[in-house]
Amino acid sequence: MALRRCRIHKLSPTLTGKKCVSSTQSAVRTYYSIHHPDPAPFPPIQAQILSTALKNVPRLGFSRDALLSGCRENGYLEASAQLFPRGVYDLIHYYLVTQRLALKEKVQFQQDAKLGLTQKVKTLTWARLQANVDDGIIEHWQDALGHMSLLENIPASLKELGNLSDEIWYLSGDTQVDFGWYTKRAQLAAVYAATETFMSTDRSKDYADTKEFLDRRLGDVRVVGGTVGGAMSYMGWIAGNGLGLARSWGMKKDAEQQPNNLVGISLFGNQDEVEAMSRLKKKLSSMRNNRS
């Protein structure tokens, strides 16, 4: 940890030629590698203060008091809260990031278990929602949602939601690389956001209502996805039929071959007349070519 701090201190705007990576941001890596562990998401002092503050959230809520208690209990001054320019939102952001990263340790799928993709996604999503309960912050989650929906915080909140959705799909073993990558993550993000909002007001035993809500939402996704897919293939079938019909009426692929005045005949006349006229025209044009 100290070594990393030293390395970061050496970076200066003149050397790198671009915006200086401040010592409070961890070294920003623009790639992801499974062979090298990710750098810590938060600098050590901030992480220390925020983790203590998080332990006090069940008692104090997501408030400035929790943040200050984190500072005080680690032996820092109340003035040290200046480390968090976004105030309480920094605490909420810390919670979101650490819970997302903890999913990997929390849910381990057995290699031999024949679980479908949907089942894995459901397990991971429920594990993340359960974490809200285990940490005791679900009573204060409405305050947190309020903070996350402030205009200056919306981009960061949406980014974290996208990251969570991505993490869940990745951990469940999704390997799709076409456009479905985007649609699946967008759908899961929407489902998760709706379920978490519902959970913040749920008073049922063991959050059974929330679990049913999640099942219904994931079922909707399956049904809607299937319906949309079915509708697309139906439209495709209709379009294919229409094309065949047009071809049978004399529509040719090559526009040169199609005579100008045969358009009217092709709509109102019969097939034989159309074919006879087109053969005649072809003969005339070949005679013209031979002569020239």
Partner 1 sequence: MASRLLLRPSRALAASSAGISPTRALSSCARRLQQSQSPEEDGRTTHFGFETVPEAEKEARVGKVFSSVASSYDTMNDLMSLGIHRLWKDQFVRSLNPGTRTSSPGNAWSILDIAGGTGDIAFRMLDHATNINGDLHSKVLVSDINPDMLAEGEKRSLQTPYANTGRLDFKVGNAEKLDFVESDSIDLYTVAFGIRNFTDKEAAIHEAFRVLKPGGVFACLEFSHVDSALFNMVYKRWSFGAIPLIGQVVAGDRDSYQYLVESIEKFPTQEEFTGMIEKAGFMVPGKGYENLTGGIASIHKGIKP
Our finding on whether 77 is near partner 1 (CB under 8 A) is: yes
Contact 27, 45 (CB under 8 A): no
Q: Write the single-letter amino acid at 231.
A: A
Our finding on whether 16 is near partner 1 (CB under 8 A) is: no
Judged by CB under 8 A, the residue of 81, 124, 161, 188 near partner 1 is 81
The upper half-sphere exposure of residue 37, i.e. CA atoms within 13 Å in the direction of its Cβ, equals 4
The upper half-sphere exposure of residue 166, i.e. CA atoms within 13 Å in the direction of its Cβ, equals 10
Our finding on whether 53 is near partner 1 (CB under 8 A) is: no
Look up residue 122 and give its two tokens: 């459901």
Least distance CB 196 / partner 1 (angstroms): 27
Our finding on whether 80 is near partner 1 (CB under 8 A) is: yes
Our finding on whether 71 is near partner 1 (CB under 8 A) is: yes
User: How does DSSP assign 61-93, residue by residue?
Assistant: -SSHHHHHHHHHHTT--GGGGGG-TTTHHHHHH
* Residue 3 CA from chain centroid, whole number: 35
Our finding on whether 33 is near partner 1 (CB under 8 A) is: no
Q: Which residues contact 8 (CB under 8 A, 6 or more apart)?
A: 21, 23, 26, 27
Stretch of residues binding partner 1 (CB under 8 A), selected from 21-29, 169-177, 259-267, 281-289 = 21-29
Look up residue 8 and give its two tokens: 């970061």
| Window 183-222: contact mask with partner 1 (x via CB under 8 A) | ----------------------------------------
Our finding on whether 155 is near partner 1 (CB under 8 A) is: no
Please identify, using beta-carbon distances, which residue of 43 and 259 lies nearer to partner 1. Answer: 43
Instruction: State the number of binding residues for partner 1 (CB under 8 A).
Output: 26
Q: How far apart are CA 252 and CA 167, in angstroms?
A: 51
Judged by CB under 8 A, the residue of 26, 43, 89, 91 near partner 1 is 43
Q: Give the binding site for partner 1 (CB under 8 A).
A: 9, 12-14, 19-20, 22-24, 43, 45, 65, 68, 71, 75-86
